[in-house]
């Protein structure tokens, strides 16, 4: 490695999420629809002229971890996910890796998996492995399972590396033999502009308790619990319905369908919603939103709403007055970039 590598990867808002729990997908499939947004994770990988591995996360309490050499990498140590990923590559020198997110932790926008894909993409470029998008996403899943002891979803590993835009992402049942399918929805510039105008994204101020919710979904699927399995299957069907509306230019119908997704999402676990989230939801609808939902697992984090025509300012203003943090978002059309 002789040059510095930079990677930028977009985060996402999911119009339909939670249907990517892998064991459920293997059994009966799962369909996601999301949009990459212009809020990014950055990773910079610089060579060193000694054997030291230095990890720096300025947005995470300015955390800095120094490791004598690659043989001392520890996936259970500080910034363990990064350490585990680096251990999967053959390096001929030390490195300094700096990662940073533009969004707060626990926002429900897929940041931990996006960081993993950024680090892998940087190391791939530095070592000349020339991994495919599929290989990067699958390695990110493997490393998260090993370092974070999680085996939940797949959308956040596949979303950034497969390009930008609004995408329908489907995991076909194992019996189909078809694997994962990524379809970028064919939307022209005017359609994208209409979505961006209608879409209101805000942070609730609550860092989401994702693990308890994801564990409950896992337990429900394993036990064959009707309410959980039925909700996931209906959410997948709504993803296809939202795709049809977007393709047909029927942006007005998307908001109410987001609410339908949210009502199904709340069936998965009581912690998915709370008084703060419900209050923000009610405020947005009263101000002119046609519907919305919480991104990610729920319980907090980021909310996405669609506003009625020319009501987006009123929705944003009402949410600001309720002390929610508004994110000015556009749709990223590029996906992960390296230079």
Going 250 to 255 to 256 to 262, the CA torsion angle's sign is positive
Tens digit of each residue's pLDDT (9 = 90 or more) over 177-199? 899 999 999 999 999 999 999 99
Q: Are 88 and 143 in contact (CB under 8 A)?
A: yes
Tens digit of each residue's pLDDT (9 = 90 or more) over 221-250? 888 878 899 999 999 999 999 999 999 999
Check residues 60 and 338 and name the one with the higher pLDDT. 338
Q: What is the biggest distance separating any 2 CA atoms in the chain, rounded to whole angstroms?
A: 60
* Whole-number Å distance between alpha carbons of 103 and 119: 17
Provide CATH 3.30.230.10 ranges for the chain. 5-174
Examine the pLDDT at 289 and tell me if it is beyond 90. yes
Give CA separation, 217 vs 55, 170, 252, 266, 315, in Å.
34, 19, 31, 11, 32
Give CA separation, 238 vs 33, 66, 168, 224, 287, in Å.
9, 47, 11, 21, 25
Domain 5-174 of CATH type 1.10.1060.10: no
Neighbours of 266 (CB within 10 A): 18
Tens digit of each residue's pLDDT (9 = 90 or more) over 304-330? 999 999 999 999 999 999 999 999 999
pLDDT at position 1, please? 64
DSSP annotation of 276 reads H
pLDDT at position 196, please? 98
Secondary-structure class of domain 188-327 per CATH? alpha beta
Check residues 26 and 215 and name the one with the higher pLDDT. 26
Average pLDDT over residues 60-64: 91
Distant-in-sequence, close-in-space partners of 150: CB < 8 Å, separation ≥ 6: 144, 214
Distant-in-sequence, close-in-space partners of 310: CB < 8 Å, separation ≥ 6: none
Provide CATH 3.30.70.890 ranges for the chain. 188-327
Is the pTM higher than 0.85? The answer reads: yes
pLDDT at position 208, please? 67
Which region among 39-53, 140-154, 258-272 has the lowest average model confidence (pLDDT)?
140-154
Mean pLDDT of the chain: 94
Tens digit of each residue's pLDDT (9 = 90 or more) over 131-157? 999 999 999 999 999 998 877 889 999
Check residues 15 and 107 and name the one with the higher pLDDT. 15
* Whole-number Å distance between alpha carbons of 323 and 280: 9
* Whole-number Å distance between alpha carbons of 263 and 313: 25
Average pLDDT over residues 96-125: 93
């Amino acid at each position: 490695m002789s040059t510095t590598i930079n990677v930028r990867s977009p985060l996402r808002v999911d119009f339909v999420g939670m249907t990517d729990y892998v064991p459920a997908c293997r059994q009966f499939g799962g369909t996601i629809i999301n949009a990459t947004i212009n809020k990014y994770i950055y990773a910079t990988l610089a060579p060193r002229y000694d054997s030291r591995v230095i990890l720096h996360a300025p947005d995470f309490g300015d955390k800095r971890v120094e490791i004598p050499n690659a043989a001392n990498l520890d996936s259970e140590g500080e910034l363990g996910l990064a350490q585990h990923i680096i251990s999967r590559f053959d390096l001929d020198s030390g490195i300094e890796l700096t990662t940073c997110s533009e969004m707060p932790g626990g926002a429900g926008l897929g940041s931990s998996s996006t960081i993993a894909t950024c680090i892998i993409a940087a190391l791939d470029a530095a070592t000349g492995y020339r991994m495919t998008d599929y290989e990067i996403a699958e390695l990110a899943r493997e490393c998260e399972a090993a370092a974070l002891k999680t085996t939940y979803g797949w959308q956040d590993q596949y979303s950034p590396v497969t390009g930008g835009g609004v995408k329908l992402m489907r995991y076909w049942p194992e019996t189909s033999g078809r694997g994962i399918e990524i379809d970028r929805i064919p939307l022209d510039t005017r359609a994208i502009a209409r979505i961006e105008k209608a879409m209101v994204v805000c942070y609730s101020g609550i860092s989401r308790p994702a693990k308890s919710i994801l564990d409950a979904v896992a337990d429900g699927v394993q036990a064959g619990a009707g309410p959980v399995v039925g909700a996931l299957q209906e959410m997948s069907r709504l993803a296809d319905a939202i795709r049809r509306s977007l393709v047909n230019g029927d942006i007005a119908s998307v908001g109410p369908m987001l609410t339908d997704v949210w009502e199904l999402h709340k069936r998965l676990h009581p912690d998915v919603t709370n008084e703060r989230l419900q209050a923000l939801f009610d405020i947005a609808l009263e101000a002119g939103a046609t519907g919305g939902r919480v991104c990610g697992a729920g319980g907090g984090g980021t909310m996405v709403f669609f506003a009625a025509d020319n009501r987006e300012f009123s929705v944003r203003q009402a949410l600001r007055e309720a002390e929610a943090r508004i994110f000015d978002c556009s749709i990223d059309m590029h996906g992960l970039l390296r230079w």
